[in-house]
Chains A and B, each alone.
Chain A
């Protein structure tokens, strides 16, 4: 690993002042950043350790309903938190589907949102071509082994996927990222926080220089009872998703759909919203035909590469199954 200097501020203002200097980068859990530094993918000149900044690890209720999850709350604490389990079981499920217990004990909310793709051509500096790592050099994944890569929202510059499970659930729950800098605060929905590659794949998110994630807000909603996170992967545990689906339904007493959210992970540079789900499901009883219509809408515009065409039928089946599981989720009390 390259050497770097280190600072450990105690409050947000001090952290933001340090972050204003070029070459600085925040570190919290470090599970992704230290790994990337070991591989020479990222080489910050200074790390700003924010783990001792007070007040950023809290999980607490918001006055208008909803829940605020501090940027430093660990993935383990968030998944196990009683209010998260009770009101947002989708989020618990998604977090627990990712990584390992050890990593979830380290990883934080903010870091999870900022984790980099696991595209092997990005991760291995032996490959010169990577527009994400070295803008303008090309994309080795386009002609390389791309079984795990994106099928939706890609560009000819980058076909990497976002690796986060947590983010997929957060988009389904319409969570909002709280961002702070020396210039002030701003709020950005998670759905708009992560971005598609376009011709600037070096930017994973809209977070600007000197900005810090301070929390993620979950709005109060009625989608808690009927939700399901389905993750399909090459082994039963401790693997990134080939395809994952966060499905959440609001059902009226008779089983008529009042609201619906479907978001797919493992298929794009950001969690992929299936906006058509609402129009196709709301006002009707759930039946296989309508679930399949959502699945068809989900893969519309998909552009497979030589090794990942299997993701299209896999994604369709996963959408049907996740919605089906979500509709059953509240009924058995599980």
Chain B
């Protein structure tokens, strides 16, 4: 079974072996699966229990063909199927921002996104921020320079969020809280507001602010 990836976990194999042949032939317009083969305990639907469905994830420029249950979040697909564990699971309920990734250039909470809904989207995780030759993204370099973390658990989400913020500040639609502020004139409060979807329990906020400010001013 070829998943287009050189790492096929045992879990992938077990999940997909029973059902992927059927899933592959589903019409594109109606990509639900109806075989009762992989019913889950506690499911409310007595009939038409879903199985796995094919999804193509483009992560950091690389295509991955996966077979997933519809309920699999993008976060869990990244961490547990693609083994890209840089993206972190904090609250898993959209409240902390540790799972922030970029989808088609925009920052989102991957814990509230279903993987199946992002087929063919362009996804960038923290692993994709640095250049292929290992040169750090300017935001990563600024975080190092300003010691913008302590334990580091929120850092991948902070980095993805901050990278998106810089793009939004240049005029792309996104998460600006005060859309009237012109580029490169963001106050400290405005940067804090735009980073408010990322919680840091170590309280590294002053240094995160300094790092983001440096990149904004150097941009």
Number of interface residues of B (CB under 8 A): 54
Q: B173 touching A10 by the CB < 8 A rule? A: no
Q: B107 touching A7 by the CB < 8 A rule? A: no
Q: B93 touching A38 by the CB < 8 A rule? A: yes
For the complex, what is the distance from the CA of A6 to the CA of B106, rounded to whole Å? 24
Q: Mark A85-111, 1 if CB is under 8 A from B, else 0.
A: 100000010001001111111100000
State whether the Cβ of A134 lies closer than 8 Å to any Cβ in chain B.
Answer: no
State whether the Cβ of A35 lies closer than 8 Å to any Cβ in chain B.
Answer: yes
Q: What is the minimal beta-carbon distance from A12 to any residue of chain B, in angstroms?
A: 13
Q: B31 touching A96 by the CB < 8 A rule? A: no
Contact residues of A between 17 and 45, Cβ < 8 Å to B: 23, 27, 30-31, 34-35, 37-39, 43, 45
- Cβ-neighbour of B73 out of A7, A34, A105, A237 (below 8 A): A34
- Cβ-neighbour of A9 out of B29, B45, B71, B107 (below 8 A): B29
B109 closest partner in A (C-beta)? A102
Most B CB contacts (10 A, CB to CB) among A2, A5, A14, A31 go to A5
State whether the Cβ of B112 lies closer than 8 Å to any Cβ in chain A.
Answer: yes
State whether the Cβ of B108 lies closer than 8 Å to any Cβ in chain A.
Answer: yes
- Cβ-neighbour of B173 out of A23, A34, A80, A236 (below 8 A): A80
State whether the Cβ of A47 lies closer than 8 Å to any Cβ in chain B.
Answer: yes
State whether the Cβ of A79 lies closer than 8 Å to any Cβ in chain B.
Answer: yes
Q: A3 touching B113 by the CB < 8 A rule? A: no
State whether the Cβ of A278 lies closer than 8 Å to any Cβ in chain B.
Answer: no
Q: What is the minimal beta-carbon distance from B162 to any residue of chain A, in angstroms?
A: 11
- Cβ-neighbour of A106 out of B34, B73, B109, B180 (below 8 A): B109
Q: B117 touching A49 by the CB < 8 A rule? A: yes
Q: B33 touching A102 by the CB < 8 A rule? A: no
Q: A105 touching B196 by the CB < 8 A rule? A: no
Q: B44 touching A43 by the CB < 8 A rule? A: yes
Q: A2 touching B161 by the CB < 8 A rule? A: no
- Cβ-neighbour of A103 out of B32, B94, B114, B173 (below 8 A): B94
Q: Mark B56-96, 1 if CB is under 8 A from A, else 0.
A: 00000000000001110100000000000000000011100
Q: Mark B178-219, 1 if CB is under 8 A from A, else 0.
A: 111000000000001110111000000000000000000000
Q: B117 touching A51 by the CB < 8 A rule? A: yes
Q: B32 touching A5 by the CB < 8 A rule? A: yes
Q: A6 touching B175 by the CB < 8 A rule? A: no
For the complex, what is the distance from the CA of A27 to the CA of B113, rounded to whole Å? 11
Question: Which B residues are in CB contact (< 8 Å) with A39?
Answer: 93
State whether the Cβ of B100 lies closer than 8 Å to any Cβ in chain A.
Answer: yes
- B-binding residues in A (CB < 8 A): 1-10, 14, 23, 27, 30-31, 34-35, 37-39, 43, 45-47, 49, 51, 74, 76-77, 79-81, 85, 92, 96, 99-106, 236-238, 334
- Which 5 residue pairs spanning A and B have beta carbons closest together? A101-B175, A100-B197, A45-B45, A6-B70, A237-B196
